[in-house]
Amino acid sequence: MAPARSSHRFRHSMLSLFVALATLVAAARAQLSPTFYTSSCPAALVTIKTAVRAAVLLDRRTAGSLLRLHFHDCFVQGCDASVLLDDTGNFTGEKGAGPNAGSLRGFGVVDTIKALLEALCPRTVSCADILAVAARDSVVALGGPSWTVPLGRRDSTTASLSLANSDLPSPASSLSTLLAAFARKGLSNTDMVALSGAHTMGQAQCPNYRARIYNDTDIDAAFAASLRAGCPATGGGGGGAPLDVSTPNAFDNAYYGNLVAQRGLLHSDQELFNGGSTDGLVRSYAASPARFSSDFAAAMVRMGGIGVLTGSSGQVRHNCRRVN
């Protein structure tokens, strides 16, 4: 009986931890408001939306890049724009972390938005809020759902290379690792599966899926073969491939249909549909675009409340790349 009691205690401890973290996230999110800039910078939202639309028209990959910036920001010491900081003599930023180096894009678009907002409303709109709104507008630009973004985040004065390396899930992650990583941020299993649907847009580089297309067995043979020509089994180089091979330039639920057909690009993608606890949810999203859109929007709001700085904490950076 001892092992059973131990297992029960472990599950109870994990549940208690999740509830506590979810409560903290909810409390932080409650300090935000969608009308935060109504008086101080009434043109803030339309300015961000216009700039995002222009950037996506020039390069549709930008939508996925801006969404990814927000995710990679929130998972490392909270949604505080720490991901945007360049290295300084006082700290090493997050841009060079394993999950970020050579793959994060969109910094120039954020710089442009910040410059526009500084001209309109100096020292008012935070870089963290820019990332949150730009992520929403990027999804909408590719035909995805919209949601109301709570605002009032402030920017960090430091960044953490070590946390970026430890807290961002790897493309080689197992299902249990993914679920645990999201639970540590106060996000549920449903949130994890819904947020993974962000991989309906964007690309991955060959090193991130090489092992999958040569070693994994839970992959459609024709799909794997089609990728090998652009991603050699050994050596450097290799190109990239869309995370959603079906509709790479649209935000939709095709990602989940790909998983059901064993055409997930990353090992961590296919883990969501591989005989585990999330199979049913994947099938549900594959069958219902409406349910996916609704759950994704709700999960984005929850993720956007992780570890936010509000009130007098942090600062509003004048330049998103450096502390004031």
CA–CA dist 223, 239 (Å, integer): 16
Q: Are residues 207 and 133 in the same domain?
A: no
Q: Is 111 annotated as a binding residue?
A: no
Q: Is residue 209 part of a domain?
A: yes
Q: Are residues 48 and 148 in the same domain?
A: yes
Q: Is residue 138 part of a domain?
A: yes
Q: Are residues 104 and 135 in the same domain?
A: yes
CATH number, domain containing residue 62? 1.10.520.10
Q: Is 94 annotated as a binding residue?
A: yes
C-alpha distances in angstroms, 138 versus 68, 89, 107, 176, 191? Answer: 10, 34, 14, 29, 19
* CB-neighbour burial class of residue 24 (10 A; exposed 0-12, middle 13-18, buried 19+): middle
Range of the domain at 256: 175-303
The residue among 117, 147, 167 that closes a domain is 167
CA–CA dist 38, 40 (Å, integer): 6
Q: Is 124 annotated as a binding residue?
A: no
- The amino acid sitting at 155 is D
Q: Is residue 195 part of a domain?
A: yes
pLDDT tens-digit map of 43-72? 999 999 999 999 999 999 999 999 999 999
Q: Are residues 80 and 136 in the same domain?
A: yes
CA–CA dist 104, 131 (Å, integer): 13
Name the domain count of the chain: 2
The per-residue pLDDT for 1 is 45
CATH number, domain containing residue 193? 1.10.420.10
Q: Are residues 194 and 281 in the same domain?
A: yes
Q: Is 244 annotated as a binding residue?
A: yes
Q: Are residues 149 and 186 in the same domain?
A: no
Active site annotation includes 72: yes
pTM: 0.90
Instruction: List, run by run, the mean pLDDT of 10-residue segments along the chain (324 residues).
Output: 52 56 54 96 98 97 96 97 95 93 93 98 98 98 98 97 95 96 97 98 92 97 94 81 94 98 98 98 98 98 97 97 97
Q: Is residue 262 part of a domain?
A: yes
Q: Is residue 225 part of a domain?
A: yes
Q: Is residue 65 part of a domain?
A: yes
Q: Are residues 163 and 270 in the same domain?
A: no
Q: Are residues 219 and 110 in the same domain?
A: no
Q: Are residues 58 and 161 in the same domain?
A: yes
The catalytic position among 8, 12, 70, 72 is 72
